Amino acid sequence: MSQLKQDIYGRIGVSRVINAAGRMTMLGASHLADEVAEAMAEAGRGYVRLSDLNDRAGQLIAGYTGAEAACVTTGAAAGIALMVAACVAGADPAAVELLPEVDHGRRDILIQIGHLVSFGAPVAQMVRIAGGRPVSVGWANGVRRDHLDSAIGPATAAFLYVQSHHTVHHGMLPLSACLELCRAKGVPVIVDAAAEEEFGLYIGMGVDLVAYSGGKAFGGPTSGFVAGRRELVAACRAHERGIGRPMKVGKEQVVGLLVALERYARRDAAEAASELARHQRIVAAIANGLRDAPGVRVEIIHDEAGRQIVRAAVHVGPERAAALAKFLSEGDPPILLRGHHATEGFLAVDPRPIDDNDAHLIVERIRRWTSS
Ligand SMILES: *Cc1c(COP(=O)(O)O)cnc(C)c1O
């Protein structure tokens, strides 16, 4: 623990945390590999035309994703805004400078109601800052094909699909059905795939644009990218002279993202399997460590959004989950578990950002809470 105090965060007087919540942007997203961190430091020591760097980054990312084109963003949130800006205003310089105002009526962004979530900020707001008007489709407990079909009209600029553990999964239309309906009427389909792991999946399905976080699955710095059709990506880039300016990405982030993506792309099945085995070992250690803890039941669960992630769900009951989260986050060092299901009575330990030692500290701290 004294070692934790001597790092850069301790020196500037900010406490470092044990992040067992996941690849959360608000907790720093990812632990950078040395290769990524060194590349970022090197990038920071020189000058470059950002436009040259962004052009080249777009080519490289297009190569990884199989898309016609791509561009770097500050994250998936900026990606949503830029995808919407591209669909609402295109690349016309006057329209770019006018946003978020729009001088025509084609600005509706259709979204299934269960996808109108907050990932820490509302998806709908990312749409509005780019001049779009979020229009919800269907009911909270079910969206039918005819709901989407009849929502499409002359005011429709795009359909936004959010792929995430944050969304409602029950009763929503699958992306394939949305694509089919939207294609038939010439409506662009844009996807927020912030934390998804397969960067070629949505492009392969034929979506028009998709946004990812660079700092989540891919282990990059806080960053992101949009990939998709050439003309629409060029329109995203055009907004660098408009609403995209306060979302500009620094050269260090662009370089860090490229190195992280290169590492991710060359990762083989053996590496992925050994990482999964490491996760399983950590999750089992949490379950074993808390086996006889009073009032606690641990269950191994799989990711809600279908990703290859196992987690340890620590069930303490709906009345006590918030108190446990508070106790853990107020200790030294603060421990943050995944709280999405606290109202259902459990907190989850995400093994990706922690090591064996952290797992041990988590077990100890939870045991201390049960005996206090
Ligand atoms: C994290 C997240 C975002 C925002 O991504 P950033 O890279 O932090 O901007 C958007 N949508 C979803 C579903 C997310 O999980």
Angstrom distance (rounded) from CA 154 to CA 144:
20
Pocket test for ligand 1, best of 213, 248, 350 (most atoms within 8 A of CB): 213
> For residue 123, how far is its CA from the centre of ligand 1 (angstroms)?
9
Tell whether pTM > 0.85: yes
Q: What is the mean pLDDT of the chain?
A: 96
Last residue of a domain, one of 211, 237, 266: 266
Question: Which among 150, 276, 250, 257 has a CA at the least distance from the CA of 212?
Answer: 257
Last residue of a domain, one of 229, 244, 266: 266
Residue 3 gets which letter from DSSP?
H
Angstrom distance (rounded) from CA 123 to CA 120:
9
For residues 261 and 305, membership in a common domain is answered with: no
- For ligand 1, whether the C-beta of 77 sits within 6 Å is yes
Does 54 score more than 50 pLDDT?
yes
DSSP 266-296: H--HHHHHHHHHHHHHHHHHHHHHTTT-TT-
213 forms beta bridges with 224
Signed CA dihedral, 309, 312, 316, 317: sign only: positive
- For ligand 1, whether the C-beta of 22 sits within 6 Å is no
Angstrom distance (rounded) from CA 272 to CA 197:
11
- Specify the ligand 1 atom closest to the Cα of 214: 7
CATH code of 303's domain: 3.90.1150.180
Q: Tens of pLDDT along 257-290?
A: 999 999 999 998 999 899 999 999 999 999 999 9
- Specify the ligand 1 atom closest to the Cα of 162: 13
Angstrom distance (rounded) from CA 29 to CA 19:
9
For residues 352 and 261, membership in a common domain is answered with: no
Buried b (16+ CB within 10 A) or exposed e, 325-353: bebbbeeebebbbbbebbeebbbbbbbbb
Mean pLDDT score, 19-44 = 95
Q: 304 pLDDT band (50/70/90 cuts)?
A: confident
φ/ψ of residue 267, rounded to 5: -60, 130
- Specify the ligand 1 atom closest to the Cα of 212: 7
Does 1 score more than 50 pLDDT?
no
Q: Is residue 40 part of a domain?
A: no
Mean pLDDT score, 198-216 = 97
> For residue 163, how far is its CA from the centre of ligand 1 (angstroms)?
10
φ/ψ of residue 251, rounded to 5: -60, -35
pLDDT of residue 176: 98
Q: Is residue 291 part of a domain?
A: yes
- For ligand 1, whether the C-beta of 213 sits within 6 Å is yes
For residues 104 and 209, membership in a common domain is answered with: yes
Q: 4 pLDDT band (50/70/90 cuts)?
A: very low
Q: Tens of pLDDT along 140-153?
A: 999 999 999 999 99
For residues 163 and 286, membership in a common domain is answered with: no
* Per-residue CA distances from 285 to 18, 121, 369 (Å): 16, 34, 18
For residues 251 and 113, membership in a common domain is answered with: yes
**Within 10 A of 66 (CB to CB), how many other CB atoms are there?**
12
Q: 6 pLDDT band (50/70/90 cuts)?
A: low
Mean pLDDT score, 317-332 = 96
pLDDT of residue 2: 40
Question: ∠ at Cα 234 (219, 111), nearest 5°?
Answer: 70
Give the pairing of strands 335-337 and 133-137.
unpaired
Pocket test for ligand 1, best of 26, 112, 115, 119 (most atoms within 8 A of CB): 119
> For residue 371, how far is its CA from the centre of ligand 1 (angstroms)?
37
* Per-residue CA distances from 259 to 39, 248, 255 (Å): 7, 19, 6
**Within 10 A of 281 (CB to CB), how many other CB atoms are there?**
12
- Specify the ligand 1 atom closest to the Cα of 29: 8
Does 106 score more than 60 pLDDT?
yes
Mean pLDDT score, 342-354 = 96
- For ligand 1, whether the C-beta of 162 sits within 6 Å is yes
Angstrom distance (rounded) from CA 115 to CA 189:
14
Q: Is residue 63 part of a domain?
A: yes
Q: Tens of pLDDT along 122-176?
A: 999 999 999 999 999 999 999 999 999 999 999 999 999 999 999 999 999 999 9
For residues 152 and 290, membership in a common domain is answered with: no
Count of domains forming the chain? 2
Q: 7 pLDDT band (50/70/90 cuts)?
A: confident
For residues 196 and 148, membership in a common domain is answered with: yes
Q: Is residue 110 part of a domain?
A: yes
Burial class of residue 363 in the structure, from the number of CB atoms within 10 Å of its CB (0-12 exposed, 13-18 middle, 19+ buried): buried
- The percentage of the chain sitting over the pLDDT mark of 90, rounded to a whole number, equals 95
For residues 297 and 343, membership in a common domain is answered with: yes
> For residue 119, how far is its CA from the centre of ligand 1 (angstroms)?
6
For residues 306 and 212, membership in a common domain is answered with: no
Mean pLDDT score, 94-119 = 98
- Specify the ligand 1 atom closest to the Cα of 79: 9
CATH code of 92's domain: 3.40.640.10
> Which residue, judged by its Cα, is nearest atom 13 of ligand 1?
164
- Specify the ligand 1 atom closest to the Cα of 163: 13
**Within 10 A of 359 (CB to CB), how many other CB atoms are there?**
22
Question: Which among 202, 204, 212, 369 has a CA at the least distance from the CA of 296?
Answer: 369
For residues 71 and 186, membership in a common domain is answered with: yes
- For ligand 1, whether the C-beta of 21 sits within 6 Å is no
DSSP 291-348: TT-TT-EEEEEE-TT--S-EEEEEE--TTTHHHHHHHHHTSSS-EEEB-TTGGGTEEE
Mean pLDDT score, 219-247 = 98
Instruction: Domain of residue 83: give its range.
Output: 47-266
Q: Tens of pLDDT along 67-85?
A: 999 999 999 999 999 999 9
Last residue of a domain, one of 207, 237, 266: 266
For residues 68 and 197, membership in a common domain is answered with: yes
- For ligand 1, whether the C-beta of 257 sits within 6 Å is no
Does 333 score more than 50 pLDDT?
yes
Question: How would you classify residue 138: left for phi > 0, otherwise alpha for psi between -120 and 50, otherwise beta?
Answer: left
For residues 334 and 218, membership in a common domain is answered with: no
